[in-house]
Amino acid sequence: MINRSITGTTEQFTATVRVPGDKSLSHRALLFAGMAEGDSLVTGLGFGLDVAATAMSLRGLGVTIDHGRVRSPGIRGWHDPTGPINCGNSGTTMRLLAGVLATSHVSARLIGDASLSRRDMNRLVEPLRSLGGRIDTSDGTAPLTVGGATRVTGADVVIPTASAQVRTAFELAALAADRPSTIDSPPGFRDHTERWLTATSRGSFESETRFRVDPGPLPPARYDVPGDPSSAAFLWAAAAISRGSSVTTPEVSLNPGRIGFLQVLDAMGAKIEATVTDSVGGDPVGTVTVTGQDLTGIDVDGELVAAALDELPLVAVVAAYAEGITRVRDAAELRVKESDRIASVEQMLVELDGGIQTFEDGFDVIGTGFLNGGIVETHHDHRIAMAAAIAATRSSGTVEIVDSNIAAVSWPDFYETLGALWS
């Protein structure tokens, strides 16, 4: 286990940084390409361990992947893996693959690391079984046994959370059905999958949130994965809490389900400039510049929570450096991420002498404008490790991040990139 120490600075920075390829889109591009028969090309793939887990999983099913070149016999030509498929720390790999496999002829067992093995997989069971998909859990968690379906029928389901993973698992499973299916959920989810299915004529939105899947094969294609806004968010936060500092991140995904954190920073008083420059697979892509100014606490709840979901630990850090109280609610999903992120964030801020009170579905951060040094436990959660590093950039003391290398799950050279902001 490697620990890392970071000491705060009052120096400002101005930088332009290209962030790694979007994790959500990298998983999806590999899966879409792997399901299609023929040759596809994926450029800009994220290089974190989570995306590598999806690539390894597909290889085990008969797909060849070499530097973004994907060659597949198509899902109908996939074979049973020779052993369990190891999804590592990646909830997206496990849930999306469970969907794809549940309604396929392939039989597989999906396993994960200790953190992933604690996460809820029950949420997949009803939607996938309603299609005739096969999925069994071990008391609602991994290992999962999936696949070997004999009859796949269309279904109409409504799920209680705005989960893009569950929606995608269902939608990809429903491509194998004998008639169209629909799925509905609360709003705010990242709709990357729906945009790709729409672009390839495999479905369309029937309302703001209800999507219809038209069964059939996916075509081989070229995907140019844009930068990851959930990675860029750490740099945006570093600029936001450093008055006068500024960071520009070109070519990041600006999918509406991904930019809640920019709305939060804007409402807190940071200067945000975002320009859409392109569109990839139906997803808007653009350049974002964040400049630090005086920040004040705000309320974050409702739809905004889903669109800022992975960034809520960062919201807590930024809120500590703001004036006044920031209230985050409707975020009970944070309890079931790579760690219980409400508890992890509380432990981090208490350790750094910040003010925080937690609730079942969120937290209040009492912004004082400063944090001290201390030792932060990351609980095998990459976003907690990286949020601690951002807290450390302005802390009045040294922050030691325990098991700091867990950041490699989404961003292997994160600490080097962060340090280079000031060079």
Contact of 406 with 414, CB cutoff 8 Å: no
Query: Helix or strand or coil: residue 6?
Result: strand
Half-sphere exposure of 112 (CA within 13 A, CB side): 31
Q: Which residues contact 66 (CB under 8 A, 6 or more apart)?
A: none
Which tokens go with 241?
Answer: 């809490």
Q: Which stretch binds ligand S3P (CB under 6 A): 53-61, 64-72, 148-156, 158-166?
A: 158-166
Q: How many residues contact ligand S3P, by CB under 6 A?
A: 10
Query: Helix or strand or coil: residue 369?
Result: coil
2: exposed, middle or buried (Cβ count in 10 Å: 0-12, 13-18, 19+): exposed
98 binds ligand S3P (CB under 6 A): no
Which residue do the tokens 């009970």 mark? 332
Query: Helix or strand or coil: residue 89?
Result: coil
Contact of 207 with 195, CB cutoff 8 Å: no
Q: Alpha-carbon distance 73 to 61, whole Å?
A: 10
Out of 22, 50, 283, 310, the active site residue is: 310
Minimum CB distance to ligand S3P, residue 158 (Å): 16
163 vs 417, beta carbon nearer ligand S3P: 163
Q: Which stretch binds ligand S3P (CB under 6 A): 64-72, 157-165, 264-272, 400-408?
A: 157-165
From 163, 182, 395, 417, residue interacting with ligand S3P (rule: CB under 6 A) = 163
Half-sphere exposure of 401 (CA within 13 A, CB side): 25
Minimum CB distance to ligand S3P, residue 193 (Å): 8
From 57, 92, 231, 344, residue interacting with ligand S3P (rule: CB under 6 A) = 92
Q: Alpha-carbon distance 24 to 228, whole Å?
A: 8
Which residue do the tokens 């945009």 mark? 195
Query: Helix or strand or coil: residue 287?
Result: strand
221 vs 309, beta carbon nearer ligand S3P: 309
164 binds ligand S3P (CB under 6 A): yes
Residue list 294-333, contact with ligand S3P (CB under 6 A): 309-310, 333
21 vs 374, beta carbon nearer ligand S3P: 21
- Asked whether the bond before 143 is cis by omega within 30 degrees of 0, the reply is yes
User: Which letter does DSSP use for residue 348 in this model?
Assistant: H
310 as an active site residue: the answer is yes
410 binds ligand S3P (CB under 6 A): no
From 86, 130, 165, 255, residue interacting with ligand S3P (rule: CB under 6 A) = 165
Q: Alpha-carbon distance 274 to 289, whole Å?
A: 6
Contact of 245 with 12, CB cutoff 8 Å: yes
167 vs 212, beta carbon nearer ligand S3P: 167
325 vs 336, beta carbon nearer ligand S3P: 336
Residue list 31-70, contact with ligand S3P (CB under 6 A): none
Q: Which stretch binds ligand S3P (CB under 6 A): 162-170, 172-180, 232-240, 320-328?
A: 162-170
92 vs 200, beta carbon nearer ligand S3P: 92
Minimum CB distance to ligand S3P, residue 24 (Å): 3
Minimum CB distance to ligand S3P, residue 116 (Å): 12
Residues that bind ligand S3P (CB under 6 A): 24, 92, 163-165, 168, 190, 309-310, 333
Instruction: Report the catalytic residues.
Output: 310
